[in-house]
Structure 1
Amino acid sequence: MTPQDMEARIVRYGDLRPCRTAFIDAHTPGSDQKENFTIIGGGVSESADQHVHITIPHGFNIGAAGQPPKCRNSLHSHRTAEVFFVLKGRWRFFWGRRGDAGEVVLEQGDIFDIPTGIFRGFENIGDDYGMIMAILGGDDAGGGVIWAPQVIEDAADHGLVLSEKGKLYDTKAGRSLPEGERPMPVLSEAELKTFPEPTTMQVVGGYVRRYWDLVAISDKAPARVIGETAIIRDKPGFDVDFLTRPSARTEAASHDRPAVLMPVRGHWRIGWDGGAATLAPGDTMSVPEALAYTATPSMSGEAALYRVVGTDDPAGQTWKG
């Protein structure tokens, strides 16, 4: 494969194209400055304005959220897996019907495998623009987002209406629901009671892993962070590995499905028969299935990288209490 062919499968951090109207809370004060990025796959964006960088099916989606300080993403749930790792900044994740059941603060490189079926949100509590990377299970990411009722109601007060088909319409811009199409109904009280309210202690111990802990255990071989027999035992439709300088190998690896490489720290040289490319933090690279490649740090200093490869598992762990 030529370097030109592979460059088409790399999304550089500086080339990311944000969408500022991706979700129903895009006009709600406190959430109206966030930027959504859809890097691989269609994700769960509700806006026709969302740009998709790589459309090749991987069995999962890669996206990102960029937010200035004090900006938050409203409470929502997914039917498939949602995994975040922090690329830049300091973030507070919170969950529960009202967002007060539990919370955890994550720093650069920390990873959070959020169980399906729980309302969750997040906010940038750092001092600068922050970025979190997201992995969503399934090629269609489970058919969209389930919003907490108050999010839908607040959005309507600011001109945004979500259709029952999951499409967003900005009434302030003169866009109304098509004839015969109804707005997305809010969940009933009976439906809301089916969404668990786990505590901080219940969630953090099983679903959060800290960057420096992963660095410590990947000193001889890549650490399997998420997977059936991994540190976080889950089957979300993909495996997540963590590579550092000591665990990087010059021997080539290959997979029976496309692999996605996302550096957290340092610069990484990705080599294959026919060429090589260098990735920096924030870059995302899709390696074709069956292509043998090497991943090694290209400069001295700290280096860490997350690798994602799809599996046949459909959705991810649902909270069971």
Structure 2
Amino acid sequence: MTPADLTDRIVRYGDLVPCRTAFIDAHTPGSDRKENFTIIGGGVSESPDQHVHIAEPHGFNIGAAGQPPHCRNSLHSHRTAEVFFVLSGRWRFFWGRWGDAGEVVLEEGDIINIPTGIFRGFENIGTDYGMIMAILGGDDAGGGVIWAPQVIEDAQAHGLVLGENGKLYDSKKGESLPDGVGPMPVLTNEALKDYPEMTPMQVVGYGVRRYLDMAALSQDTPVKVIGETGIIRDKPGFEVDLVTRSSASETMHSHDRASVLMPVKGHWRIRWEGGETTLAPGDTMSVPGGLDHSAVPSMTGEATLYHIVGTDDPAGPSWLS
């Protein structure tokens, strides 16, 4: 790859390849219409059908979930950070053993840093197909997904079994667990004690930031949304900044590792030595480490983008610990 050719590091929204069998709840009514996308990194999909757009390790994963109205993602947990921002639609995030410990509604551009170690789910409560973008800590994203026991039990009733090897087997396709592979164990009551019921104040007060508030803070310089000095103070193995029209700069700069640009509003012109491209909302671009580049709006009107770069912090339990 030459600096002028970064085509393979740009994933256009319209080119995203969905997987409709990514997780154990793919047949469960209410969750059976969702689409999952793995954009950067291996992701946490349990299906061999999942397409990976950019496999290169970045120290974190980028994915997305697309869902029609009233479709939900079942209760699960991760061992590393899980951060979402709303690209389109209106979304309800809920958490707790049964999903009733608390909830919050997020609009376009809003961001949530969900604590490790709690069960969480989300639902599109808008009127149209919606998309949320996800950042997961670590190259292996903590080794996969931990499901609330009822999710595994419900899935079995609809033909899907998760093996202890982390792979899905679909009885509707004539599949069964291979010899020597048992089903994924359901968490015991004793193990469930390690998954706390956090209050709305704990989750929303600390981990949620509203788009308009962040944009107002990003006047002269980008606002650090997540980081050791961020407005969400956390060190999950990556940092997230929000760049606006007023805080964007034509000045070329680089990072010592690959960084990711994800527009939320407007069109952005990305320049580097020997090349340039334009990104629109929903597009994702990985900029190689050490490459001088700049990002500025290419048209008038509202323009914001999220910028993600890895850090040397371990991608383990985040601010809950």
- Name the residue aligned to 1:187: 187
- Structure 1, unaligned stretches of length 5 or more? none
Whether 1:251 aligns to 2:265 is no
Q: Closer, same or farther in 2 for the Cα pair 1:63/1:34, shift >3 Å?
A: same
Whether 1:105 aligns to 2:105 is yes
- Name the residue aligned to 2:88: 88
Per-residue CA deviation, residues 107-166 of structure 1 (Å, 9 max, x unaligned), is 000000111001000000000000000000000111000000000000000000000111
Secondary structure of the residue aligned to 1:5 is coil
Per-residue CA deviation, residues 203-251 of structure 1 (Å, 9 max, x unaligned), is 1111000000011000110001000111100011100000000000111
Q: What letter matches 1:319 in structure 2? A: L
- Name the residue aligned to 1:271: 271
1:319 deviation in Å? Answer: 2.1
- Name the residue aligned to 1:129: 129
1:211-230 alignment runs, 5 A limit = 211-230=211-230
Structure 2 distance, partners of 1:317, 1:58, is 18
Identify the range of structure 1 (304-313 vs 1-10) with the bigger mean alpha-carbon deviation.
1-10
- Name the residue aligned to 2:165: 165
Q: What letter matches 1:167 in structure 2? A: K
Q: What letter matches 2:13 in structure 1? A: Y
Structure 2 distance, partners of 1:128, 1:52, is 26
Structure 1 distance, partners of 2:231, 2:141, is 24
Whether 1:302 aligns to 2:298 is no
Secondary structure of the residue aligned to 1:250 is strand
Structure 1 distance, partners of 2:61, 2:38, is 8
1:313 deviation in Å? Answer: 1.4
Structure 2 distance, partners of 1:318, 1:78, is 13
1:3 deviation in Å? Answer: 7.1
Native 8 Å contact 1:253 1:292 kept in 2? yes
Secondary structure of the residue aligned to 2:309 is strand
- Name the residue aligned to 1:139: 139
Secondary structure of the residue aligned to 1:18 is coil
Whether 1:5 aligns to 2:5 is yes
- Name the residue aligned to 1:38: 38
Secondary structure of the residue aligned to 1:44 is coil
Native 8 Å contact 1:196 1:319 kept in 2? no
- Name the residue aligned to 1:206: 206
1:18-29 alignment runs, 5 A limit = 18-29=18-29
- Name the residue aligned to 1:153: 153
Native 8 Å contact 1:118 1:319 kept in 2? no
Alignment coverage as a number of residue pairs: 320
1:301 deviation in Å? Answer: 0.1
- Name the residue aligned to 2:118: 118
Q: Closer, same or farther in 2 for the Cα pair 1:222/1:316, shift >3 Å?
A: farther
Per-residue CA deviation, residues 1-21 of structure 1 (Å, 9 max, x unaligned), is 757621110000000000000
Per-residue CA deviation, residues 59-111 of structure 1 (Å, 9 max, x unaligned), is 00000000000000000000011000000000000000000000000000000
- Name the residue aligned to 1:319: 320
Identify the range of structure 1 (119-128 vs 168-177) with the bigger mean alpha-carbon deviation.
168-177
Structure 2 distance, partners of 1:279, 1:120, is 31
Native 8 Å contact 2:160 2:170 kept in 1? yes
RMSD over aligned CA atoms reads 1.0
Secondary structure of the residue aligned to 1:229 is coil
Q: What letter matches 1:57 in structure 2? A: P
Q: What letter matches 1:40 in structure 2? A: I
Q: What letter matches 1:317 in structure 2? A: S
Identify the range of structure 1 (220-229 vs 63-72) with the bigger mean alpha-carbon deviation.
220-229
- Structure 2, unaligned stretches of length 5 or more? none
Native 8 Å contact 1:88 1:130 kept in 2? yes
Native 8 Å contact 2:3 2:273 kept in 1? no
Native 8 Å contact 1:224 1:231 kept in 2? yes
TM-score (norm 1): 0.98
1:266 deviation in Å? Answer: 0.1
Structure 1 distance, partners of 2:91, 2:29, is 19
1:318 deviation in Å? Answer: 4.5
Per-residue CA deviation, residues 159-182 of structure 1 (Å, 9 max, x unaligned), is 000001110010111111110100
Structure 2 distance, partners of 1:89, 1:138, is 27
Secondary structure of the residue aligned to 2:313 is coil
Structure 2 distance, partners of 1:16, 1:130, is 14
Structure 1 distance, partners of 2:63, 2:165, is 21
Secondary structure of the residue aligned to 2:249 is coil
